[in-house]
Structure 1
Amino acid sequence: MARNTSSQKKSVLVFFITFLSWFGIWSTLQVNVLLDFGIPVSRAITDSVISNLLLEAFCLLIINNMRYYLPKKEKYWYTLIISFGLSSLWLLLLRIILWRVFKNDTAYLTMLGHTSLIRFAIAFLIIGCCTVLSLLWYSQQDQQADSERKQAMERLAREAELNKLRQQLQPHFLFNSLNSISALTGSQPEKARHMIQQLSDFLRGTLKKEQQQWTSFEEELQYLQLYLDIEKVRFGYRLQTQIETEPAALQMHLPSMLLQPLVENAIKFGLYDTIGEVTIFIRAKKVNDLLEVSVQNPFDETTSAPVKGTGFGLSSIRRRLFLLFARHDLLQIKKEAQQFITTISIPQQNESNHN
């Protein structure tokens, strides 16, 4: 906002410098023309100053009027009518003023009468140009304002949808955790107490991360570890994880709370249909200017319930990535050797956008 205000002030300053410079040049030219007609220097300067100050006042009147009333459909007729009307009024006032100033100079008044038509034509052109330029300027300003409002509305709608997607991920995990805590309360109260503490830390971190649009991959891994610790209490020895991360990837950034639904999906389809030990692989690396994260889990099509490849978790991730980057190719899914591999690629943005 401050940058826009500074830019507007600079534009206004440039406009007035140009405006005054143009009238200064035209006033000098008019003085030379009047001198060619044999008008004395003092009278030529007086004529030029009065004529152009009055003309400047009419032009500023038009510019100010355009700020409050900008014609739409009738703008061409408006330009013609306002230019003709103001030029006529300008000539009338000019003749009255100059007649009173030089009422005893017959030669000058005769010249004034002979040049009235050309003065009117010049005033009509100048006022007409000023009207057209003002119309174009304020129309462009209105279009820019409309575009900014539209972008702001789209941004708010996108942020609201992103927030809704993130909020929808928590209840499912929270219900499962509370059910597990309830089951452990009677048989293993100490483990239930530990899980409550972990859940509290996780939810506290969730509230903090909801205020962030972006986070470093290293910080996201710490948040993910809390989630995995809770899940390991639920599933015990059955859930094993292996995280492989390139050092360069740790300092890269990604949308906050993006990994949890990815891993939750892997746990859901990796453990729910098996009774043995399952290892979830999480790998991250830097590929050019992309942070590439893959999550791999076992997948047996003969025992797993039929799915189309994406549950709510993956579909929400795909939607979030599209809202943020307007790309559909940032989430890839493949199955090979009874392994289900989900890979997301995160383009890196400027540091200013990571806050």
Structure 2
Amino acid sequence: MTSSPLATARYRAIFFGCWLALALLLAATLSWFGLPLELAFSDSFISSGLLAAACWLISGNLEYYRPQQARYLYIGIWCFLLALIWTTSLYYLLPVLLETDPRYETFLLASLPVRFSTGLLLLGWMAMISVIWYNQQEQQASLRRKSETEKLAREAELFKLRLQLQPHFLFNSLNSINALIGFKPQEARKMVQQLSEFLRSTLRKDDSQPVLLAEELHLLELYLEIEKMRFGHRLQTEISADETSKNLKLPPLLLQPLVENAIKFGLYDTTGQVCINVKAQAKENNLEISITNPYDPQTATKRTGTGFGLTGVQRRLYLLFARQDLLQTRAENQLFTATLKIPQTL
């Protein structure tokens, strides 16, 4: 496990600050025991420097290898051995480096048990803090990886849902263009232009970037113009949105599959005119959009398709908002209504 650069820099700063505080505290203690100030500072900085090296060694090892909980005794053994090595080093190095009189050597020998105990205690604390610190860093890194994996999976599923939408609508439009070419070439040409403009606009959309309702309604109108070329006078639409709602946001291309669903179940089982009503309004902190189409349960037949309609929209909303209650449907008085509720947290 490798810590982030910021976490590593913070850890080193804390370590250096603690080492400096320890050195000053040790110098003050030695001076209080009667050592000259210069000798006390020399002893302190050499002793604390070697101890800091031992602490850094055990901390560095624990960054890359941490025994299982049942084997934490190994850490205790490491601390004991390092404390013993540190104390022995002080006994042989300090008299040579400081060139002091025999009285200091006597003081040093008498202080070794205290130094050993202090070193063992500080190494133990360092080992414990290091284990906690690195375990926490590893847990945070694991959570970040899990979050990134879930995000990639969510984006992949959203992309898959988008891929379901485009070919389905494109095939229907191309079939209609093919039917118009023979006897209405002007309308076929117009439909090709509208289809080109619609696809150019939708290909630039990204599920991670919400759009204003005004933009979505513009795309919806392009889509409906193409559908009206297919169904002629039989398809009528009414779209209404107040000025406040037009400035609210929603995921791109969310309305088209719902309107397509309304057209399919509103027109396919009737021969007369059908009006699809789209109404948007702002309610509290939500954008609420209702799409209504005539529906006769006596004549309607169950149809199969790509499965993108209501189910696809419900899945997209769950992936984006982690909520299952944002799409509601009801059928009453021979009207089928799908109601979207988009929280304005985008």
TM-score, length of structure 1 as denominator length: 0.90
CA distance in 2, matches of 1:179, 1:173: 10
What is the rounded CA distance, in whole Å, between the counterparts of 1:17 and 1:171 in structure 2?
A: 57
**Shift in Å, 1:231:** 0.3
Task: Work out whether residues 291 and 348 of structure 1, in 8 Å CA contact, stay in contact via their aligned partners in 2.
Answer: yes
**Contact 2:164 2:308 (C-alpha < 8 Å) held by counterparts:** no
Pick aligned residue for 2:153 from 141, 157, 170 = 157
Helix, strand or coil at the partner of 1:300 = coil
* Counterpart residue number, 1:56: 52
Task: Report the more deviating stretch, 258-267 or 187-196.
Answer: 187-196
After TM superposition, the structure 1 = structure 2 runs for residues 86-165 of structure 1, keeping only pairs within 5 Å, are 86-101=82-97, 105-165=101-161
Aligned-partner Cα distance in 2 for 1:203–1:111 = 88
TM-superposition CA deviations, 1:125-168 (whole Å, max 9, x none): 11111111111111111110110000000000001001101111
Q: In structure 2, what residue type is equivalent to 1:271?
A: L
8 Å contact 1:220–1:256 — kept in the other structure?
yes
User: How far apart, CA to CA, are the structure 2 residues paired with 1:183 and 1:340?
Assistant: 30
In structure 2, the residue matched to 1:245 is: 241
Distance, in Å, in 2 between the alignment partners of 1:200 and 1:95 is 86
Indicate the SS of the match to 1:187: coil
Cα 1:14–1:74 shift into 2, 3 Å: same
Q: Could you tell me whether the CA contact under 8 Å between 2:213 and 2:246 is conserved in 1?
A: yes
Distance 1:313 1:16, change over 3 A: same
Verify: 1:83 aligned to 2:79, yes or no: yes
CA change 1:234–1:104 in 2 (3 A) is closer
| 1:327 to 2:320 alignment | no
Give the CA deviation at 1:34. 2.5
2:39 aligned with 1:20, yes or no?
no
Q: Distance in 2 between matches of 1:212 and 1:155?
A: 11
Q: Which runs of 5+ in 2 are unaligned?
A: none
Measured on the aligned residues, the alpha-carbon RMSD in Å equals 2.2
Please say if residues 262 and 295 of structure 1, whose CA atoms lie closer than 8 Å, have aligned partners that are also in contact. yes
Q: Which residue matches 1:233?
A: 229
Runs (4+) of structure 1 exceeding 6 A deviation are none
Task: Confirm or deny: 8 A CA contact 2:207 2:252 kept in the other structure.
Answer: no
SS of 1:257's equivalent in the other structure is coil
Distance change in 2, residues 1:311/1:103 (3 Å): closer
* Separation in structure 1 between the aligned mates of residue 8 and residue 168 of structure 2, nearest angstrom: 56
3-state SS of paired residue (1:30):
helix
Once the 2 structures are TM-superposed, how far is the Cα of residue 240 of structure 1 from its aligned partner? Answer: 0.3
Residue 353 (structure 1) aligns with: none
1:272 correspondence with 2:268: yes
CA distance in 1, matches of 2:142, 2:204: 34
Contact 2:42 2:98 in 1 (8 A): no
Gaps (5+ residues) in structure 1? 351-355
What secondary structure sits across from 1:38 in the alignment? coil
- Choose 226-235 or 191-200, whichever is displaced more: 191-200
Is the partner of 1:285 in helix, strand or coil? strand
Do 1:318 and 1:331's aligned partners in 2 also have CA atoms closer than 8 Å?
Answer: yes
2:191 maps to a residue whose letter is M
Question: Does structure 2 retain, via aligned residues, the 8 Å contact 1:299–1:340?
Answer: yes
> What is the identity, as a one-letter code, of the residue corresponding to 1:33?
T
**What are the superposed Cα offsets for residues 246-272 of structure 1, whole Å, 9 maximum, x if unpaired?**
111111111111100010000000000
TM-score by length of 2: 0.92
Q: How far, CA to CA, are the matches of 2:55 and 2:260 in structure 1?
A: 68
For 1:126, the aligned partner's letter is L
How far has the Cα of 1:39 moved from its partner? 2.8
Contact 2:266-2:295 within 8 A present in 1 as well: yes
Instruction: For residue 57 of structure 1, report the CA deviation from its aligned partner.
Output: 1.8
Note closer, same or farther for the CA distance 1:144–1:75 as it changes in structure 2 (3 Å cut): farther
Provide the residue aligned with 2:308 in structure 1: 312
C-alpha separation in 2, matches of 1:86 and 1:260: 70
**In structure 2, C-alpha distance between the alignment counterparts of 1:67 and 1:104, rounded to whole Å:** 39
Give, as a single letter, the amino acid of the residue that structure 2 aligns with 1:146.
Answer: S
2:129 and 2:240 map into 1 onto residues whose CA distance is 62
> Within 2, Cα distance between the matches of 1:173 and 1:21?
65
Moved more, 196-205 or 292-301: 196-205
CA contact (8 A) 1:51 1:94 kept: yes
